[in-house]
Homo-oligomer: A and B are copies of this chain.
Amino acid sequence: MASLEEKRHTLAHLLAAAVAERYPGAKPTIGPAVDNGFYYDFDFGAGQAPGETELAALTDAMRELLPSWTSMHGTEVSEKDARDRFKDNEYKLELIGDISAKGEKITLYTAGDFTDLCRGGHSETPGHDIKPDSFVLDRVAGAYWRGDENKPQLTRIYGLAFDTKEDLDAYLKQREEAQARDHKKLGKELDLFLIDEKVGRGLPMWTPKGTAIKFALEDFVRSLERKYGYEHVETPYLGGEELYRTSGHLEHYSQNMYAPIDMDGDKFYLRPMACPHHIRMYQRRPWSYKELPVRYAEIADYNRYEKSGELMGMIRVRKFQLTDGHLFVTPEGLKDEFKNVCRMIVEGMKGLGLLDIVSYRFSKRDPNNKEKYYPDDGLWNRAEGLMKEALDELGLAYTEAPDEAAFYGPKLDVQAKNVNGKEDTLFTAQMDFLLPEKFEIEYVDADGQKKRPVMIHRSTIGSLERTFGFLIEHYAGAFPLWMAPVQVMVLPVGQAHAAYADDILKTLRDAGIRAELSADDSLGKRIRAAKLAKVPCFLVVGDAEMEAKTVTVENNRTGDKQTVSLPDFLNPMLERIKERANI
């Protein structure tokens, strides 16, 4: 019996056969199996390439051919024979040239009436192995020949394929759910952010609703940072050449930086990191050991070079705001402070409701490949040792990842799984021995001697952009009460209740609640709209409510419904918002 990968590979051939039958001018190029099925790239030349609407017919054509593919087998041929067979297909000729240049065998595989240049790895009895309802053509995309944008553009047809129809259906369902949660889609539908081509790709703008969430996140971050003893600073997104020369960014990190801007003869860089700014802030005055740790926090502007093709919504952008922080710590205080950092990170993830999707990775030096790392065995051993102790004492579940440390120190990566199950690094907490050396950072110790502090770089909840992207997908746009851009929608039943509804709106807003009033259209339509907008809570006010000076509260998350006085609604509501409760 063929493996799933062999079946997928076979289906790529079957697709090419169906295309050859229905689009006689098309030139097949290459077609491999992929994670969820297969694809094949074609040059349709002057002919019309199939669009998404043609895929159903093409799938049917594949299914019609399939029973005739009773067997599939390969034959070794000479380069000349291969060239003769594919003489009109410059792509296959190029591949044949490559294979023979490497001295490898050239094989052709045939099933039904269709023969293709291939290395093998198929089902030997496709008509028997592959269930006709276990695959479907999925979408059409552009692709360059050999991935090179200077080479001809081809048409790539993707298919999904699994062992059974049930597996295919399950995949489609999971994908549909993930797509419904896609932050780019929801961002537009719920009017949370905007990427405008004129403003620039990779430079998202926060709409009023998105900004309300951003401010809620900023408040949360800053209150958490205050609780953990941080001082807030604000530093510019530009830095002079000498700053990034001293830090080593220009030498080691310039591939992620943009070209400098001249300001009256001085060169300035859009900063890729804020550590040098915070170091210069620290260095504005002398420090005693009694004052350490010094902890600076900032929602800091960062700029990182990203290729246009790799930009993605709020997740991969060219300018972002990191909930950033830098700590200057005595070597003796390092373990305790690292524990504090970890406690704060866990509290932050818990506060955002993301504990379920995050995990922790302890990234260490590769003990067999020490040359890659800052050369001080003693420091590394001590730092990794105390990080491990700290993590273990906290009882934090983590995985160890050798050879994933930064050049200048070990780190803890906060990993998050997106709705597709893919894991990404949300942010890190990192020890640093190197920058204190480079900038010659000091404090005066108890013995009156000048000593070097250790730095910890760390984020509170990651970049606001990326974390917002994760939050949108995690909550499918139904944000917890404290984050929700509109927390309460006031719905007067009719025109007669407008004035009463206005009073309620004013009371709510004066109390600091993000409330809106919806008065146009029928009540049913308005309720539907507020539900679509995922507003957590509605207040319906009609004759009875106006009469009794009450409101009817509908909780759009729990479905609860009750009629209470305005203060009886308002006070618990304010309490729940203050506590950052979910609903």
A-side interface residues toward B, CB under 8 Å? 191, 194, 196-208, 210-212, 214-215, 226, 231-240, 242-243, 246, 258-259, 261-266, 268, 270, 276-277, 280-281, 284-285, 296, 301, 305, 307-308, 318-319, 509
Q: A194-B281, A196-B284, A259-B261 are in contact. List 14 more A-B contacts (CB 8 A).
A: A191-B284, A197-B240, A198-B246, A200-B236, A200-B263, A205-B233, A205-B281, A208-B231, A208-B296, A210-B234, A211-B234, A238-B319, A258-B262, A263-B318
- Distance A212 CA – B230 CA, assembled complex (angstroms): 12
Majority secondary structure, A binding face: mixed
What is the chain B residue whose CB lies nearest that of A240?
Answer: B200
Q: Are B208 and A233 in contact (CB under 8 A)?
A: yes
Q: Are B236 and A268 in contact (CB under 8 A)?
A: no
Residues in chain B near residue A233, CB distance under 8 A = 205-208, 211
Most buried by B among A191, A212, A266: A266
A407 to chain B, nearest CB (A): 22
Q: Are B261 and A235 in contact (CB under 8 A)?
A: no
Cβ-closest 10 pairs across A and B: A208-B231, A206-B234, A200-B240, A203-B236, A205-B235, A264-B308, A211-B232, A196-B280, A198-B243, A258-B261
Residues in chain B near residue A235, CB distance under 8 A = 199, 205-206
Q: A263-B318, A305-B263 are in contact. Are A198 and B240 (CB under 8 A)?
A: yes
Residues in chain B near residue A214, CB distance under 8 A = 234
Q: Are B307 and A236 in contact (CB under 8 A)?
A: no
Residues in chain B near residue A210, CB distance under 8 A = 234
What is the chain B residue whose CB lies nearest that of A308?
Answer: B264
Q: Which of B200, B207, B265 interacts with A239 by CB under 8 Å? A: B200
- Distance A573 CA – B280 CA, assembled complex (angstroms): 35
Q: Are A301 and B237 in contact (CB under 8 A)?
A: yes
- Distance A246 CA – B199 CA, assembled complex (angstroms): 11
What is the chain B residue whose CB lies nearest that of A205?
Answer: B235
Most buried by B among A205, A239, A246, A318: A205
What is the chain B residue whose CB lies nearest that of A234?
Answer: B206
Q: Which of B207, B261, B276, B308 interacts with A266 by CB under 8 Å? A: B308
Residues in chain B near residue A203, CB distance under 8 A = 236, 238-239, 268
Subset of 15 A-B contacts with CB under 8 Å? A191-B284, A191-B285, A197-B240, A198-B242, A199-B235, A199-B277, A200-B240, A200-B243, A203-B239, A208-B296, A211-B234, A214-B234, A237-B301, A237-B319, A259-B261
- Distance A212 CA – B237 CA, assembled complex (angstroms): 19
- Distance A264 CA – B308 CA, assembled complex (angstroms): 7
Q: A205-B280, A207-B284, A319-B238 are in contact. Are A266 and B196 (CB under 8 A)?
A: no
Residues in chain B near residue A268, CB distance under 8 A = 200, 203
Q: Which of B199, B234, B238 interacts with A280 by CB under 8 Å? A: B199
Q: Are A199 and B239 in contact (CB under 8 A)?
A: yes
A59 to chain B, nearest CB (A): 37
A440 to chain B, nearest CB (A): 12
